[in-house]
Structure 1
Amino acid sequence: MALLPRRRSHTRPVPLAAALVVACACAVPSQAAAPGAPGVALPSMGDVSSQSLSPVAERKLGDRIMRSVRRDPAVVDDPLVQEHVQRIWDSLLTSARRRGEITEDFDAVYAWQPFLVKDRSVNAFALPGGYIGIHFGLLAVTATPEEFASVLAHELSHVTQRHIARLMNQSKEASWVSIASMVLGAIALSRSPQAGQALILGGQGLAQQGQLNFSRDMEREADRVGQGVLDDAGFDPTGMARMFELLARASRLNDDNSFPYLRTHPLTTERIGEAQARLGGSSLGGLRANRPLSASAQALAVAQQMVSARSRVLMDPRSTSLGPMLAQAELPNERLPAGVNPLVAHYTGLVAAVALRDAAQVDALSRKVREDVAALPDAQAPTARRLWQLTWAEGLIDTGRAAQGLAMLQPSLMTGRPLEPGSASALQPQARPELMLRARAALNLPEVRDGRGEVQAALGDAASRLQALQAEAQGQDLAAWQLLGAVFTRLNQPLRAVRAEAEAAALMGDLQGALDRVQAVRKRYPAPSSADLIELQVLDARARVWMQNLKDDLRDAQG
């Protein structure tokens, strides 16, 4: 991740926080060393036993950084994209565990959590404690699962090899505040250069040549380990070499700072050659080029194409960008540009129509996507059909037709039926995207007297299922807490609504706001009933945790 602006002169040296984000972004940008800066003794690559930063301490650091990062509006949760990313991420985690890259001493400690950044730049970065940031721009340019997985495998290997801990041990002045400032500043650059530069300069560090060399060694180690993880997970290991060449070629053709991944992960000819050499002399076309793809691999391939299309829309939701996507989707198939997949073109247009809340286009493009899905091979059709149906339901909800959207997602609850009941359903009732959309649909149902029972049933069902989802996520699902707060408010359950709102505030770093909510609700219920008392006791227990987190954050920020 590009965490530093172009080289500028400064009047005073600042802490070496850059090195930490470099571990996150995985390469230190070249800058002049501070006058009189002490030398740095570098640990041996592969030796993590002597690191003073424990996995527990690194996770706590990552949690603090994430509480700041989640506040940024560019950090988003799109359930469809998130699910696809999580599926690939989980397969890489399983591979790393099997290979021994993830050891028992920190497997249960780290978050191992990817998150999405609404940004057009091609980028990904790792943070302390196993948090991985992924820009929509990266998803938009990766055409195959192997290409995308190769970047995730590389970032995962920076975490498993404890590169962040190694660099942190070289910078005693670094703090979670400076790292968070760097990450937030880099994200803010895409929206406001002035604001982003201010945040970056507030936490920017200087890098010495020794650290630069160390980071190059880290890059090579992450390449080597990541390629092994990629292969063991069942992906074509040539995906890493192909991704290197794709990014290098694209940046040469379009050198407009859209590829910060290349500035923080410099792709030298040597690194590309090493990636190819590790394939044992096989052609770049792929070790598995002549092997038929399994049904699951085919399903993942079509999911990558559709998620990539969705990301192209979500990364730039301006109407001036969405218009051309709709225009291309409206063309007859024979008039589409050469090499353009009709399914991808029509699905891109459908997502754009949903973003524009254009009901007529949502319906028209849904029909086109349905026809494209029907023409797919049997191995790909169910996956593509589910993504289409989820996006169609999203469009119905966002264009004022929540009851129809809910009927698609949960036909047993409502009396209505999908617009096209002949369409075979590929939805997964207990999956997170379906649950989140059902909650959104229930919240958007109109308050009508005749349908009050159905509305209450839909809201109650959404609440119970979101709570189960939250339990599975160990209380870390920010979007689910936000939805729960709205659902409980609509159900006239104020205590539960306050709990959900406070949990969401705490996850977004507003610990004082979470505590203020608890204090306010305590005053509101001076003599609670037995049922309310249980809820208040839960709130009190959570408040003690938030108070301790707040004290720790303030102490470390000042120290």
Structure 2
Amino acid sequence: MLGPLLPQRAAADQLQLIRDAEIENTIRVYATPLFQAAGLSPQGIRLYLVDDRALNAFVAGGLNLFINTGLLIETKDPGEVIGVIAHETGHIAGGHLARSGAALEQTQAALIATYLLSLGAALATGESGLGAAVLSGGQDIALRGLLQYTRTQENSADQAAVTLLRATQQSPRGLMEFMEKLSGQEVLLTSNQDPYLRTHPLTQDRIDFLHRALSESPYANKAPDPELVRMHNRMRAKLIGFLNPLNQVLRSYPTSDASLPARYARAIAYYRVPDIDKALAEINALLLEKPNDPYFRELKGQMLLEHGRVAEAVPEYQTAVQGLPGSAQIRQALAKAQIALDTREMDQAALENLGITLAEEPNNAAAWRLAAIAHGRLGDQAMTALALAEAALARGKYAEARDRAEHAAGALPENTAPWIRAHDVKNEAERRLKKDN
């Protein structure tokens, strides 16, 4: 985890993106069956969480799905989120963002390419646990306009959503209820409407269609999977704990509430105050019940690491990794703690963990910077230069990436994999520099 959450609020023309292994996993669990039913590769669609209280979700660049934290918090059960994802999947499968006319399409492609290019820098933290990064969007207003769908496209996405929900044996009730929630905003001034309503035009015909779809669905009254409900409740509690002030958290989850989500939210909120004693008391009680829960272990590791108790944090992260060995974010968090111990053995172990992170997230600038620290301490200056070149490339610092890669190539043994990669980074940086000029 990162934390404590949140740098200064993003301006109106910026997005503030956050990362969290548990929340991203929850959304993936919701979305994967829908992507597969639509004939899309789940691995090919990138997910971004936007720290914004407004109800919104949108697709950009064809295979990039953005979901606001406000939508996740305000949905009462997983069925609503799944319904929205099914609708957005309909837009992806229908290629709606690529059907706006030749002149507009060229402008749209350029805007979205610029917008998404900055994500590498915006997500430079690359770590787990509601870590935040601000994505500048100088052309954001224009992009928002281009993300508006036509009513025909909205109807098509609704039909696709209903088909996908039926194919995955899920009820369309959540999507219908979410749309009904938005329908009450149509009389509001545009500036007061949630962005989802402004970019996804809502009509009574769409509401009527969803009502008919519900009445005709063999799964109309099928309740969401209890496991998904459990995950949804934890996700909401985590977001509320990280994003709201303590007094608001305690209103949502008073100390009289002994449920697991309530204690989870309070543990996070106390940690953010910070009141480390209360936070550890809450998380330790949760761990007594679920000692192998990787996300509880991750949270405790973050608490300890950020209060200087590094030696205690490392075993917590190690247990989390044992539970989720494939989590790039938790591996990176463990590596960060290992590097903080500042021993040769821990630096070597950190590089092993970072290798797994970077195999999954090769554009993770923060992971490359950690790798550079470890290589530098171990005396490998050539690999330090290469890691710094990779970090610069991921951040869009192309001149720096070119120079560091050139230095690395001159110091690495010829024809080895790192030497080849150094040349690849140098060539890519030079290509990007020529393109920008």
Shorter-chain TM-score range: 0.7 to 0.9
Which secondary structure does the structure 2 equivalent of 1:530 belong to? coil
Matched ranges for 1:138-537 at <5 A: 138-167=71-100, 169-171=102-104, 174=107, 176-179=109-112, 199-200=139-140, 203=142, 215-249=150-184, 257=192, 259-281=194-216, 286-289=220-223, 297-314=225-242, 316=243, 321-325=244-248, 327-328=250-251, 331-333=254-256, 336=257, 342-370=259-287, 374=289, 385-410=293-318, 427-445=323-341, 447=342, 452=343, 456-473=344-361, 475-478=362-365, 480-519=367-406, 521-522=407-408, 526=410, 528=411, 530=413, 535-537=418-420
Q: CA deviation at 1:219?
A: 0.6
Is 1:92 the counterpart of 2:34? The answer is: yes
The 3 A distance-change label for structure 1 pair 535 and 79 is same
CA distance in 2 between partners of 1:353 and 1:492 (Å): 41
What is residue 539 of structure 1 aligned with on the other side? Answer: 422
Please tell me whether the aligned partners of residues 230 and 236 of structure 1 are also in contact (alpha carbons under 8 angstroms): yes
TM-score, structure 2 as length reference: 0.78
> CA offsets per residue over residues 519-543 of structure 1, 9 Å max, x none?
4x25xx75x3638965333211222
Q: CA deviation at 1:234?
A: 4.2
Which secondary structure does the structure 2 equivalent of 1:410 belong to? helix
The structure that is helix-richer by fraction is: 2
CA distance in 1 between partners of 2:284 and 2:192 (Å): 38
CA distance in 2 between partners of 1:216 and 1:225 (Å): 14
CA distance in 2 between partners of 1:239 and 1:329 (Å): 23
Q: CA deviation at 1:370?
A: 4.5
Counterpart amino acid of 2:67?
Answer: I
Which secondary structure does the structure 2 equivalent of 1:236 belong to? coil
CA distance in 1 between partners of 2:433 and 2:226 (Å): 47
> CA offsets per residue over residues 92-118 of structure 1, 9 Å max, x none?
222212xxxx4xxxx69x941111222
CA distance in 1 between partners of 2:251 and 2:346 (Å): 38
The 3 A distance-change label for structure 1 pair 353 and 126 is same
Identity %: 23
Q: CA deviation at 1:388?
A: 2.4
Q: CA deviation at 1:395?
A: 1.5
> CA offsets per residue over residues 420-451 of structure 1, 9 Å max, x none?
xxxxx983334334313212221332x4xxxx
> CA offsets per residue over residues 244-299 of structure 1, 9 Å max, x none?
2234458889997472112111332321221121234469x94314xxx7xxx333
Please tell me whether the aligned partners of residues 240 and 249 of structure 2 are also in contact (alpha carbons under 8 angstroms): no
TM-score, structure 1 as length reference: 0.63
The 3 A distance-change label for structure 1 pair 158 and 273 is same
Counterpart amino acid of 1:354?
Answer: Y
CA distance in 2 between partners of 1:327 and 1:398 (Å): 23
Counterpart amino acid of 1:541?
Answer: D
Please tell me whether the aligned partners of residues 84 and 175 of structure 2 are also in contact (alpha carbons under 8 angstroms): yes
The 3 A distance-change label for structure 1 pair 544 and 80 is same
Q: How many residues align?
A: 409
Please tell me whether the aligned partners of residues 118 and 135 of structure 1 are also in contact (alpha carbons under 8 angstroms): yes
Counterpart amino acid of 2:401?
Answer: A
The 3 A distance-change label for structure 1 pair 82 and 254 is farther
What is residue 15 of structure 1 aligned with on the other side? Answer: none
Q: CA deviation at 1:391?
A: 1.7
Is 1:78 the counterpart of 2:78? The answer is: no
